[in-house]
A and B are shown apart, each in its own frame.
Chain A
Amino acid sequence: MNIKQIFLLAACIIPAYTPSSLLAGPGEFTGYVAGEVRIFPESATSSKQGEAQLSFSIQPEYFKDWDDGNQSLTIVPFVRLDSMDPERTHWDIRELTWIKVGENWEVRAGLRKLFWGVAESQHLVDVINQTDLVDSMDGEEKLGQPMVNISFMGEQGTLDMFLLPYFRERTFPGEKGRLRTGYYIDTDQTQYESGAEKEHIDWAVRWFQSLGDWDLGLSHFSGTSRSPTFSKGIDSDGNSVLIPYYALIEQTGMDLQATKGAWLWKLEVISQRSQGDRHQALTGGFEYTFVGVMDSAADLGLITEYLYDDRGESAPTPLESDLMVGVRLALNDEASTDFLIGTIVDVNQQNFAVSLESSRRVGEDWKLSLEGRVFVNLPEEDPIYSMRRDSYMQIELARYF
Chain B
Amino acid sequence: MKLLKYTIVLALTFILLPLTGFAQTPEEKGLAIAKEIDKRDEGFGDSTAKLTMTLRNKAGRESFRYIRFKTLEVKGDGDKSLSIFDKPRDIKGTAMLTFSHSIKPDDQWMFLPALKRVKRISSRNKSGPFMGSEFAFEDLGSQEVAKYTYKWVLDEKYNNLDCFVLERRPAYEHSGYTRQIVWVDQVEYRIQKVEYYDRKNSLLKTQTFGGYTKYLDKYWRPGNMEMVNHQTSKSTKLEWKDYKFRVGLKESNFNRNSLKRAR
Contacts and interface: CB of A to CB of B under 8 A. Distances in A.
Interface string A249-284: 000000001010111100000000000000000000
B120 A215 contact: yes
Interface stretch (A35-43, A82-90, A182-190, A329-337): A329-337
Contact of B88 (A106, A333, A364): A364
A364 B63 contact: yes
Interface size range on A against B: 35 or more
A55 interface: no
A158 B257 contact: yes
Interface in A338-368: 361, 364-365, 367
Nearest to B127: A292
Given A336-B91, A365-B88, A257 B256 contact: no
Given A153-B257, A336-B132, A361 B122 contact: no
A289 B120 CA distance: 13
Contact of A261 (B63, B88, B122, B255): B122
Contacts, number: 90
A291 B129 contact: no
A99 B120 contact: no
Contact of A291 (B87, B115, B128): B128
Interface string B112-141: 000111111110110111011000000000
B122 A259 contact: yes
A115 B128 contact: no
Contacts of A229: none
A80 B107 CA distance: 39
Contact of A103 (B105, B116, B252): B252
Contacts of B118: 115
B2 interface: no
Contact of B174 (A210, A291, A398): A291
A332 B129 contact: yes
Nearest to A301: B122
A73 to B, nearest CB: 12
Contacts of B119: 118
A299 interface: yes
Given A299-B128, A364-B64, A208 B256 contact: yes
A291 B125 contact: yes
A104 interface: yes
Given A115-B117, A215-B120, A334-B57, A158 B256 contact: yes
B120 A264 contact: yes
Interface in B88-104: 88-92
A261 B90 contact: no
Interface in A3-52: 30, 32
Interface in A133-172: 140, 151, 153, 158
Contacts of B87: 364
B252 A104 contact: yes
Nearest to A212: B107
B263 interface: yes
B223 interface: no
Interface of A: 30, 32, 63, 72, 99, 101, 103-104, 106, 113-115, 118, 140, 151, 153, 158, 208, 210, 212, 215, 257, 259, 261-264, 289, 291-292, 297, 299, 332-336, 361, 364-365, 367, 398, 400-401
Given A101-B261, A118-B119, A297-B129, 11 more contacts: A118-B120, A210-B107, A210-B256, A259-B107, A263-B122, A289-B124, A289-B125, A336-B132, A365-B88, A365-B89, A367-B90
8 A-B pairs with least C-beta separation: A400-B89, A334-B132, A115-B117, A367-B90, A115-B116, A262-B124, A291-B125, A113-B116
